[in-house]
Amino acid sequence: MSLVFVIPGPLRELARNRSEIRVDGAAGSVSGALSLLWRECPAVRDRIMTELGEVRPHVNIFVDGENIRDSGGLAGDVRDGAEIVILPAVSGG
Amino acid sequence: MPSTRHITPRNGDVLLMVGTMKGAFLLRAGKGRASWDVAGPYFPGNAVYAMAYDGRAGRHRIWAGPKSMHWGGLLRSSDNFGRTWTNPREANVKFPEGTGAALEQIWQIIPGRASEPNTLYCGVEPAALFTSRNAGKSWSLVEGLWNHPQRPRWQPGGGGLCLHTVLLDPERSDRAAIAVSTAGFYVTEDGGASWRPSNKGVRAEFLPDKHPEFGQCVHKVVQSTSKPERMYLQNHWGLYRSDDRGASWTDIANGVPSDFGFAMAIHPQDPDCAWIVPLESDEFRCTPEGKLRVYRTRNGGKKWEAMTRGLPQKGAFETVLRDAMAVDALDPAGVYFGTRSGKLFASADEGKKWISLADGLPPIVSVKAAVVSIPRGRKGA
């Protein structure tokens, strides 16, 4: 299984300045896919997830354009070749 | 992102570290404290509730606890007065597995005593204390406080359930104290293994029992370094002094327009001298009558005097938050504070007159002051 992660600008410094990271391995779910990303790029994990293993409330993850909050969360399916985009939410102030 | 200006402090300069809701700023001045250079913003867009200067063991290190709304918070440090900052690969202050907690905000960074130059303390939200014994390389939760049987009954205040004050007893290395909104004041006498509430005399207006063992909304506590048994406490309604290291508290709201407020600072040498900025009420958390007044006592709270020269006295509905006031260690002491409307003021003569250092910063949540000590042979930045 091969997946492509799109890394948001503020985290690229922690991802050796890459905007895209390709990972290979068995994922099965969004959670499994993220584990492959942590293996390739461990420094982005704590910025995306809390200590409780939850996606930070103002971070969105889209799998093939679908926000995982609307499609099964971390347990949702991921297909071979999927594009996973990580983006900051519009929240601010 | 905005371009960042820098400062180059020299030995003996006063350094101000100003944390705001949208980044941090650094200011420097010589001993006269008449002319200031301003640097920043650092961490633009991040809320910076906690900053500290660590001048121990030959360091001149600045710590900050920026929190990105999106990417969370962590501790970062600079050894060159903000030109570069660490950016840890892993979050350095985080709750261990099994605690069921996740870091919300870093509220306080306190370098340990001179005798423990590699120790640092960090107070966070949800209310917990972390320590580092290796100059900030790694951090661990103080389990004795986290496992306190009263902790599940602590309630968040308006700013969240935060551990915002850490006091290290200057004479007894096993003794320290913390304050939590809303839990009150807690003391350890065994180096953090066990903690007991110490709120005798401090009232809780918002509870049916006005004098509970714990549960007070303590906003800030300061301790004298020259006379450690002397402390002052600014409560959510109530202004207090202790002469027994917090074992009991006496009301000292004598002649202040309100005993509600957040900010508090104590003189670096004189235990009878402290400063506060009263706010009207918990309903209207602004300076009373539209006058920005710092109140000073020089007799342990028997009497407070308004210090207004140079401060706006008309239409000034300002708010000064719990960590937004600081003093330096010079003689006469410099006093500094920032407002939620982004105004920063300084007094080089213990509050007699004030000058504006900045107007238009993001909302100021933290002001810390330090006298810079740069080891010989090293440049400021």
Q: Write out pLDDT tens, residues B299-349.
A: 999 999 999 999 999 999 999 999 999 999 999 999 999 999 999 999 999
Measured between alpha carbons, how far is B225 from B72 in angstroms, rounded to an integer? Answer: 35
By C-alpha distance, which of B73, B72, B29 is closest to B51?
A: B73
Cβ of B54: how many Cβ atoms within 10 Å? 22
H helices present in chain B, as ranges: 143-146
Contact present, B165 and B219 (Cβ < 8 Å): no
* Contact call for A11 and B71, based on CB within 8 A: yes
Residue B103, chain A, CB below 8 Å: the answer is: yes
C-alpha atoms less than 13 angstroms from C-alpha of A64 in its C-beta half-sphere: 10
CB contacts, 8 Å: A59 with chain B: 70-71
| B46-89 pLDDT per residue, tens | 999 999 999 999 999 999 999 999 999 999 999 999 999 999 99
The Cα angle at residue B365 between residues B185 and B23, in degrees rounded to 5:
135
Confidence of residue B159 (pLDDT cuts 50, 70, 90): confident
Environment class of A24 (CB within 10 Å of its CB; exposed 0-12, middle 13-18, buried 19+): exposed
Q: Which residues of B touch A43 (CB under 8 A)?
A: 89-90
Question: What global pTM score does this model have?
Answer: 0.96
Q: What is the pLDDT along chain A (93 residues), one digit of tens a residue?
A: 999 999 999 999 999 999 999 999 999 899 999 999 999 999 999 999 999 999 999 999 999 999 999 999 999 999 999 999 999 998 766
CA gap B171, B164 in Å, rounded: 22
List pLDDT tens digits, range B9-35: 999 999 999 999 999 999 999 999 999
Q: Is the dihedral of CA B346, B347, B348, B350 positive or negative?
A: negative
Cα atoms in the Cβ-side hemisphere of radius 13 Å centred on B123: 26
Q: Which residues pair with B261 in a beta bridge?
A: B278
What is the rounded distance in angstroms from the CA atom of residue A22 to the CA atom of residue A83?
9
Counting every residue written for chain B, the total comes to 381
Residue B343 CB partners (closer than 8 Å, separation 6+): B318, B356, B358, B359, B361, B364
Does the beta-carbon distance from A46 to B70 stay under 8 Å? no
**Looking at chain B, which residue has its C-alpha nearest residue A42?**
B89
C-beta atoms of B70 and A88 within 8 A? yes
From A65's Cα to the closest Cα of chain B, the distance in A is 20
3-state secondary structure of A43: helix
Q: Is A33 helix (H, G, I), strand (E, B) or coil?
A: helix
Q: State pLDDT tens for residues B215-229.
A: 999 999 999 999 999
Per-residue pLDDT, averaged over B350-374, amounts to 96
**3-class DSSP assignment, residue A9:** helix
Instruction: For chain A, give the number of residues.
Output: 93
Q: Which residues of B touch A41 (CB under 8 A)?
A: none
Q: Which residues of A touch B (CB under 8 A)?
A: 10-11, 13-14, 42-43, 45-48, 50-52, 54, 56, 58-59, 88-89, 91-93
Tokens 């402290």, residue located: B274
Distance between start and end Cα atoms, chain A:
40
* Most B-contacting residue of A12, A40, A51 (CB-CB within 10 A), to test interface: A51
B70, B97, B101: residue with CB nearest A59: B70
Task: Flag whether pLDDT at B380 surpasses 90.
Answer: no
Structure tokens at A68: 């995982």
Residue B315 structure tokens: 């239409």
Query: In B174-248, which ranges are continuous DSSP H helix?
Result: none
Q: Nearest Cβ partner of A42 from B72, B89, B99?
A: B89
Q: Cβ–Cβ of A51/B103 closer than 8 Å?
A: yes
Mutate to test the interface with A, among B69, B70, B76, B95 (most CBs of A within 10 A): B70
| CB count in 10 Å sphere of residue B157 | 19
CB atoms under 10 Å from CB of B57, counted, come to: 12
